[in-house]
Amino acid sequence: MTSDENDLPDIIDVVMEMGRVPEEPPVQAPSPPLPMAAKETGRLPGHLEALAGRARDYVEAASSANTRRAYASDWRHFASWCRRQRIELLPPDPQVVGLYITACASGKATGDRKPNSVSTIERRLSSLTWNYAQRGQKLDRRDRHIATVMAGVRNKHAAPPRQKEAVMPEDLIAMLETLDRGTLRGLRDRAMLLLGFAGGLRRSEIVGLDVGRDQTQDGRGWIEILDKGMLVTLRGKTGWREVEVGRGSSDATCPIVALETWLKFARIAHGPLFRRVTGQGKAVGADRLNDQEVARLVKRTALAAGVRGDLPEGQRGLMFAGHSLRAGLASSAEVDERYVQKQLGHASAEMTRKYQRRRDRFRVNLTKASGL
């Protein structure tokens, strides 16, 4: 693998580029010159190394770990395709990128088994734009070789998104019954399912929670247990938001009771809320769970509980993931839509309706209302 594929420029260049929007011309503001030692040797003076380390932390904080992994994976995919075609990665060539998009859409990029979806291709294009920007070079997505091909790909291959099945309350109760209440892992998983459902939380939001405020560097929120429920403070894509989780009608289905039980027996009073259970299920580690664990938990318990048992198991396995919890709350909560919208953190009611899998689509009948 060549250095062009992996080596990013000095962190100072990266930090400068992070402030730029790839689609717009760069701001023509003068930048302070690097110290002479940095120019000549490629290294920062010793008294700036600590500051550069902090800058690296801020660079990582600018995007989520999932986004960084996706961008790195897409760059490797593009680099592999370029090697196979004997094309140089640098400098960015819109015509080459247009051909790469075509290869992705036709399923002929680096031996892909099937064509990439439109959403995947759009993500790959965003990844290339970002990666080139970090190398100090601009990829113009408005160039006709890219924009025209991408428009054709959307027109020909765009399809409605495949939504995950909503986990309804009766489904969730059946899923909880598949977990062993006598084990730490079972207590943890019960708390994750109930909190994820009642809070309408994303899987990354569930595992990103800490017990309290400002307890870990990678934490993305914390909880506060009150008499009537629990306040969850989250750092999302658009800033901070608060989610109120009320107590359940019974202890068996109450997310607060489930969480308090997990914290008590896991002896957690500080740091990550949901952690790995180690030592053959008898000890709790210090490491935070990966968000993929939530998706696996939802899928595993849904299959074990026989949710959508009318379908073949192979098809059922593709229907459930972390978003099934959010969709379940949106689809089952019998309250004014604006409360569901607030709970899910959506900017529009239209986005909330996309999560309502089993809502009454014909509650407002315009045919009858028009007099027919």
Model pLDDT, residue 355: 60
Strands (E), 13-122: none
Residue with the larger pLDDT of the pair 51 and 179? 179
Res. 247 pLDDT band, cuts 50 70 90: very high
| Each residue's pLDDT tens digit, 287-327 | 999 999 999 999 999 999 999 888 887 778 788 888 788 88
Model pLDDT, residue 322: 81
Model pLDDT, residue 256: 95
21, pLDDT greater than 60: no
Model pLDDT, residue 218: 87
What is the SS3 assignment for 203?
Answer: helix
Residue with the larger pLDDT of the pair 21 and 77? 77
8, pLDDT greater than 70: no
Model pLDDT, residue 273: 97
Model pLDDT, residue 108: 76
- Rounded to whole angstroms, the Cα distance separating 243 from 239 reads 13
Q: Sheet holding 221-225: strands in order across?
A: 209-210, 221-225, 229-236, 239-246
- Rounded to whole angstroms, the Cα distance separating 131 from 90 reads 11
- Rounded to whole angstroms, the Cα distance separating 133 from 130 reads 5
Which residue's structure tokens are 């302070």? 32
| Each residue's pLDDT tens digit, 208-246 | 999 999 999 889 999 999 999 999 999 876 688 899 999
Amino acid of residue 228: K
Confidence (pTM): 0.67
Tokens of residue 47, six digits:
């008294």
- Rounded to whole angstroms, the Cα distance separating 344 from 245 reads 12
Model pLDDT, residue 110: 63
Lowest mean pLDDT among 5-9, 110-114, 178-182, 332-336: 5-9
17, pLDDT greater than 70: no
Model pLDDT, residue 230: 94
Lowest mean pLDDT among 35-39, 139-143, 194-198, 321-325: 35-39
Lowest mean pLDDT among 19-33, 123-137, 189-203: 19-33
| Each residue's pLDDT tens digit, 79-107 | 999 999 999 999 999 999 999 999 999 88
- Rounded to whole angstroms, the Cα distance separating 99 from 14 reads 28
25, pLDDT greater than 60: no
159, pLDDT greater than 60: yes
Model pLDDT, residue 158: 80
- Rounded to whole angstroms, the Cα distance separating 297 from 192 reads 9
- Rounded to whole angstroms, the Cα distance separating 313 from 168 reads 19
| Each residue's pLDDT tens digit, 32-41 | 444 444 444 4
Largest CA distance in the chain: 81
- Rounded to whole angstroms, the Cα distance separating 175 from 253 reads 11
| Each residue's pLDDT tens digit, 219-229 | 999 999 999 99
Residue with the larger pLDDT of the pair 216 and 372? 216
φ, ψ for residue 264, nearest 5 deg: -65, -55
Once rounded to an integer, what is the mean pLDDT over residues 345-367?
63
Amino acid of residue 233: T
Residue with the larger pLDDT of the pair 279 and 131? 131
